[in-house]
Structure 1
Amino acid sequence: MFGIQITGHSLGGALASLAAAKIVHSKAIPQERIKLVTFGQPRTGDSGFASGMASSLSFYNYRVTRARDLVVHVPPRVFQDYAHYRTEIFYDNDMKPGAKWIRCVGGDEDKNSKTRFLYVRVAAFSNFFPKHNGKFETSIYHVSDHTNYFDRVVSEYGRKGCYSG
């Protein structure tokens, strides 16, 4: 019997998780033969979806996130119960070879998860970014933390046929 590896970045990560959920639900491939790894994935479903992902893809299921990647914080949890599923691999650094990471197993509720920190600070969409001296302070998030993973510009990696070098 064969297995399948599913991956994606950003919206592609959200679609990859939905595809994995569909494959598991269809019983076309046993869950233990599915490997799901996403990068910079936004919250894709509600807490029911997160719980279902945790139970139906319990073997090899990882969301890789980077320190100040804004996309992993949207949509905010205060809207419609959006939630991340576990397990998050969180890099609070530049992600260069040998960089340290933290394994967060509690989804948005894990004490090590960066997404949990933001959830506490979000009261409404207009307050999505923290304020400093009455102005929205967005400098804690950087587009480059979303577009660069493992010392690679993600879009360039794809354009080059996904080869290293």
Structure 2
Amino acid sequence: MKYLLPLLIIIYCHKIKGVLEWTVVGKVTDYGQNVTLFCHVPNCCPKNAGWEMWTPHQRTLFIDVKTGRSNKKYDGKVGKDGYTLIIQNLTKQDLNVSYLCLYDVTFSERKFLLEEDVFLNISTTQPNAKAGHIAGIIVGVFVLVAVALAVSLLVCRFCKQKRNSQAR
């Protein structure tokens, strides 16, 4: 009996946090476009479902996606296997902050929405840098082959001189 209460607390805490997960559905090419986050909930959604955005302070974005109460910035839809948050007219302020989805008393981990999650073809290097890396590798291979040939010629010359000096 003394273990019943701690066991119930553990089960309740597991139910409350970390069961849900959200992902980005479809990437965009530029700011100003709409981005959709999807919260996976099997057999969705007879219970309350919503989203929170965490900046330095918690902010509830969309409390109940079933009612369809949207605003100019955020919208949501309910589907068979989950529900969405549509961030309309994406700006830099929508990124690098964390979002979580809620379903009844269960919620996801807070997860940052990053540029690489949202944009197609994000490159951390300049376009010509890739070609420069390839050219550097090719030059490096040629230099390595030239050095190997020079060393082998020196070793052969040394061995030839040694044989000649032993033959005398």
Which interval holds the TM-score relative to the shorter structure? under 0.3
Length-normalised TM-score, structure 1: 0.25
Q: TM-score, normalised by structure 2?
A: 0.25
Q: Which of the two has higher C-alpha Rg? A: 2
Higher RCO, 1 vs 2 (CA within 8 Å, ≥6 residues apart): 2
